[in-house]
Amino acid sequence: MHSPQFTADVLSDGMRERDFTVGDVPGVLWSPVSGADRAPLILMGHGGGTHKKHAAMSGRARLLVRGCGFHVAVIDAPGHGDRPRTAHDEAEIAELYRARAAGEPEGPVVVRYNAHLADLAVPEWRATLDALQALPEIGADGPVGFYGINMGTAIGVPFVAAEPRVTAAVFGQHWPDALAAHARRITVPVEFALQWDDEHIPREAGLALFDAFASKEKTLHANAGRHKELPRFEADSAVRFFARHFGRTVPSPA
């Protein structure tokens, strides 16, 4: 087992931020500034069209690292962030924009494209987890969580279904078509967010994906509002979910 190749090591927003690569895949590892004690690791999947250091990622990392003392890692999905786009990526993105401009449902394109990305990304996530667990401050037997909404769910559900090292997960906002079969193999605690008035994902589709998880402990958080209006307090809730399962204290908000 080889550690990740670190390419940068800075302080950022009260966290230690290390850029790394595992093979060709670039990632970021955020850790507490103080102390080399072992701590749980949360893997986070970014949304479609964004990247590993998007504000949604660094903001959630800040809550998990500074609030709970966890490590947080994000890798760029295939075709995203610092990674090259293939002709297939370009064609699918063009098709998504065409569907949007034509007022057609974007679900069929997103479901198909994200399933393709998940096929590529699941082995990348497994190799990344192998490498991160070789670090002494993480270790091979510590708790591992996964947190990803939208495309982070499209990749995370097949990953968690295939990966017994992940023992708690936060997902949300995707269609069941390509994911329900994987969700039926997931038995770890799950928190799942959807938007009650999502203009892209029909309500019944979101509820069907939540229903598919085999987890004895699973919680649906459905909020009034459209697709992009997922409330900020759901990130606080996800942090508490991991703190509850991994035994860390969450500080009170100011």
Contact positions vs a second copy (CB under 8 A):
196, 207, 210-211, 215-224, 231, 233, 236-237, 240, 244, 249-254
Minimum CB distance to a second copy smaller for 179 or for 239: 239
Minimum CB distance to a second copy smaller for 53 or for 221: 221
- Please state the closest distance from residue 56 (CB atom) to a second copy, in A: 19
Q: From 88, 154, 85, select the one nearest 121 (Cα to Cα).
A: 154
Minimum CB distance to a second copy smaller for 97 or for 196: 196
Minimum CB distance to a second copy smaller for 16 or for 240: 240
For the chain, what is the radius of gyration of the CA atoms? Answer: 17
- CA 40, chain centre distance (Å): 15
CA distance 79 to 86: 7
- Please state the closest distance from residue 123 (CB atom) to a second copy, in A: 30
CA distance 188 to 168: 5
CA distance 13 to 33: 10
CA distance 250 to 242: 10
> Residue 74 — φ and ψ, nearest 5°?
-135, 140
Minimum CB distance to a second copy smaller for 113 or for 210: 210
Residue bearing tokens 């909020």: 223
Helix (H) or strand (E) run with residue 107 in it: helix 107-133
- Please state the closest distance from residue 70 (CB atom) to a second copy, in A: 15
- Please state the closest distance from residue 246 (CB atom) to a second copy, in A: 13
- Please state the closest distance from residue 155 (CB atom) to a second copy, in A: 24
How distant, in Å, are the alpha carbons of 6, 8, 60, 67, 225 from that of 254? 34, 32, 16, 12, 26
Minimum CB distance to a second copy smaller for 127 or for 250: 250
- Please state the closest distance from residue 168 (CB atom) to a second copy, in A: 13
